[in-house]
Amino acid sequence: MRDVILANARYWLKVLHESQNSRPLPEPDLRGAAKAIEAALQVPDLWDVTRSLAQALHPYMEQRGYWAEWGNFLQILIVRARQKNDEQTEAELLLRQAAILRQRGDYSGAVLACRRAWRYYRRSKNRSGQAGAFSYLGDLYRLRGQFWRALVLCRAALAVFESEACIVELASAENRLGLIYFDQGRYPEAIPYLERAEALDRQAGDWHSLAKALHNLGELHRRSGDLDKALICLEKATRYYLDVGDEIHAARACLNIGNVYLRQADLRRAETTYTRAEIVLRRSGDSLDLAGARHNLGIVYTRLGDWEEAAACFARALEQWRARGEPWREANTLGEMSVLYVGRGDQPGARACLDKAWQLVKGRSEPHFVRLQRELTERRKGLG
User: What confidence score (pLDDT) does residue 20 get?
Assistant: 65
Is the pLDDT at 84 greater than 70? The verdict is: yes
Is the pLDDT at 285 greater than 70? The verdict is: no
Distance of CA 61 to the CA centre of its chain: 14
User: What confidence score (pLDDT) does residue 7 get?
Assistant: 86
Rounded to an integer, what distance in angstroms lies between the CA atom of residue 64 and that of residue 216?
Answer: 20
Evaluate whether 15 touches 29 at the Cβ level (below 8 Å). yes
14-40 b/e (C-beta count within 10 Å ≥ 16 → b): ebbeebebeebbeeebbeebbebbebb
User: What confidence score (pLDDT) does residue 9 get?
Assistant: 84
User: What confidence score (pLDDT) does residue 180 get?
Assistant: 96
**What is the chain's mean pLDDT, rounded?**
91
Amino acid residing at 248: I
Contacts of 147 (CB under 8 A, 6+ apart): 141, 180, 183, 184
**Residue-level length of the chain:** 384
Q: Residues 212-260: pLDDT tens digits?
A: 999 999 999 999 999 999 999 999 999 999 988 888 899 999 999 999 9
Question: Looking at 23-37, 43-57, 107-121, 217-231, which range is the least confident one?
Answer: 23-37
**What is the pLDDT confidence band of residue 16, given thresholds at 50, 70 and 90?**
confident
User: What confidence score (pLDDT) does residue 356 get?
Assistant: 96
Is the pLDDT at 98 greater than 80? The verdict is: yes
Is the pLDDT at 116 greater than 80? The verdict is: yes
Q: Give whole-number Cα distances, 354 to 312, 314, 322, in Å.
A: 18, 14, 16
Is the pLDDT at 315 greater than 60? The verdict is: yes
Rounded to an integer, what distance in angstroms lies between the CA atom of residue 86 and that of residue 52?
Answer: 13
Rounded to an integer, what distance in angstroms lies between the CA atom of residue 90 and that of residue 75?
Answer: 10
User: What confidence score (pLDDT) does residue 23 get?
Assistant: 63
Four-residue CA torsion sign, 111, 191, 293, 22? negative
User: What confidence score (pLDDT) does residue 165 get?
Assistant: 86
User: What confidence score (pLDDT) does residue 152 get?
Assistant: 96
User: What confidence score (pLDDT) does residue 40 get?
Assistant: 87
User: What confidence score (pLDDT) does residue 25 get?
Assistant: 75
Evaluate whether 91 touches 129 at the Cβ level (below 8 Å). yes
Is the pLDDT at 12 greater than 90? The verdict is: no
**What torsion do the CA atoms of 140, 141, 147, 153 make, to the nearest 10 degrees?**
-90
Q: Residue 104 phi/psi, 5° resolution?
A: -85, 0
Share of the chain above pLDDT 70, in %: 98
Helix 87-103 and helix 107-123, axial crossing angle in degrees, nearest 10: 160
Is the pLDDT at 128 greater than 70? The verdict is: yes
Question: Looking at 1-10, 94-103, 349-358, which range is the least confident one?
Answer: 1-10
Four-residue CA torsion sign, 151, 157, 160, 165? negative
Is the pLDDT at 86 greater than 80? The verdict is: yes
Break the chain into its structural domains and give their ranges.
126-186
Q: What is the pTM of this model?
A: 0.82
Q: Residues 138-192: pLDDT tens digits?
A: 999 999 889 999 999 999 999 999 998 889 999 999 999 999 999 998 999 999 9
Q: What is the mean pLDDT of residues 90-119?
A: 92
User: What confidence score (pLDDT) does residue 336 get?
Assistant: 96
Evaluate whether 62 touches 100 at the Cβ level (below 8 Å). yes
Q: Residues 39-62: pLDDT tens digits?
A: 888 888 888 988 899 998 888 888
User: What confidence score (pLDDT) does residue 44 get?
Assistant: 84
User: What confidence score (pLDDT) does residue 366 get?
Assistant: 81
Contacts of 144 (CB under 8 A, 6+ apart): 107
Q: What is the mean pLDDT of residues 270-280?
A: 94
pLDDT, greater one: 1 or 58: 58
Q: Give whole-number Cα distances, 339 to 203, 208, 351, 358, in Å.
A: 47, 38, 10, 15
